[in-house]
Amino acid sequence: MKFGTKALHAGVFPDPATGAIMTPIYQTSTYVQSRPGDHKGFEYSRTGNPTRSQLEASLASLENGKYGLCFSSGLGAIDAVIKLLNSGDEVICTDDLYGGSYRIFTKIFEPLGVIFHFVDMADISNVKAKINDKTRLIWVETPTNPMMKIIDIEGLSAFTKGTDMLLAVDNTFASPYLQNPLDLGADIVMHSVTKFISGHSDVVMGALVTKNTELNERLAFIQNSCGAVPGPMDSFLALRGIKTLHVRMDRHCSNAAQVAYYLRDHKKVDKVYWPGFEDHPNHQVAKMQMRNFGGMISFNLRSDTQQAAHNVISRTKVFALAESLGGVESLVGHPATMTHAAIPREERMKIGLSDSLIRLSVGLEDIDDIIFDLNQAIG
């Protein structure tokens, strides 16, 4: 089944009671049993809800996995993965990653004894150099947030295959339409469903997908025990968003490509970070493991100051200045003071995340209006 067909049909089915073609919102906390343990597959909505179950099945199908689990946020999903570990276990992480991921790793789990190593995974030999007998997880973002680094998932899987290490990939920037890490050897795929999958800036949700039965059972136990689950209304909205994911992503990619080349030619712009450029580091890896280059772009201004960046992002009209990404509308942000403020400045500067870096989530508006807006904002 091709992706567009899966987006519309996989994992979902008409309501058996009424024939409703859209998955109903099962707004219930509990389910009647005829006698203890004799029920229709559901007992309590923290453990399972029919609306959420169809969403989880749909996401598993889109990622070519067997099992999907949904959480109340992307960080809720990340939290569940790290809870697979014990004190003294070590994790090798992408050095450029979402600020919330950095915060939960360093402020929540490091004090509990989990050790994190942040390395430049654009060269996977840096990962190999950090692996030891305590390494239990390799945590990857690709493309990374916000520097758009590309990491060779299949290359990393060679380090974990046949070992007790797990390879987990945050696939949020690419979405399942552009990249399927499980097919490249990853054990777990994580999504902030809030972003491209839902796609309409009206849901906060996370998800994990795996092919491994034992791993899914462990993660499902954590999901149920810790209770960070989404409600049925959010699950319904995410299912609705999935039905247009392939159509939206094509437009995101098309618009972003034109924006990237426009910015590259702008006299007030210094560097543009977009994996579609042939000279972008690991461009060939991106071509191999992605179907297109996505809707995310970051760039530096030649006037490399925070004030210069704030001036630009405060003047946009089409681009909304806001946290998040992946919605139908174009969004602009300043990572150093917004999404990545939790990362100390000295750590940000090491990876090139300067005070003038601007991140764009290029939306579905007419490209002429998008370019015009950037032109008037940058000046």
Which segments of 83-212 does DSSP mark as H helices, in order?
99-103, 125-130, 153-160, 175-178
E-strand ranges in 213-325 read: 269-273, 296-301, 320-321
* Annotated catalytic residue 195: yes
With a CB cutoff of 8 Å and minimum separation 6, the contacts of 2 are none
Amino acid type, 48: G
Hey, which bits of the chain come out as E strands? 67-71, 90-94, 115-119, 135-141, 166-170, 188-192, 206-210, 269-273, 296-301, 320-321, 331-333, 358-361
Distance (Å, whole) CA 233 – CA 84: 29
| Catalytic residue (choose from 79, 96, 152, 170) | 170
> Of 185, 187, 191, 180, nearest to 214 (Cα)?
187
Please say if 170 is a catalytic residue: yes
What is the 8-class DSSP label of residue 24? P
What does the alpha-carbon distance between residue 332 and residue 360 come to, in Å, rounded to a whole number? 5
Query: Of 98, 102, 177, 273, which one is the catalytic site residue?
Result: 98
The one catalytic residue among 15, 31, 46, 120: 46
- Measured CA to CA, the distance from residue 336 to residue 354 in angstroms comes to 7
Kind and range of the H or E run holding 236: helix 232-242
Report d(CA 226, CA 103) in Å as an integer: 19
Query: Coil, strand or helix: which one is 303?
Result: coil
193 and 63 in contact (C-beta within 8 Å)?
A: no
DSSP labels, 236-285: HHHHHHHTTHHHHHHHHHHHHHHHHHHHHT-TTEEEEE-TTSTTSTTHHH
Q: What is the largest CA-CA distance in the chain?
A: 73
**Catalytic status, residue 348:** no
Return phi, psi of residue 108, to 5°: -105, -50
Could you give the CA distance from residue 116 to residue 102 in angstroms, rounded to a whole number?
10
Name the β-bridge partners of 119.
94
Rounded to a whole number of angstroms, the distance between the first and last alpha carbons of the chain is 47
Q: Which of 195, 211, 348, 359 is catalytic?
A: 195
Catalytic residues: 46, 98, 170, 195
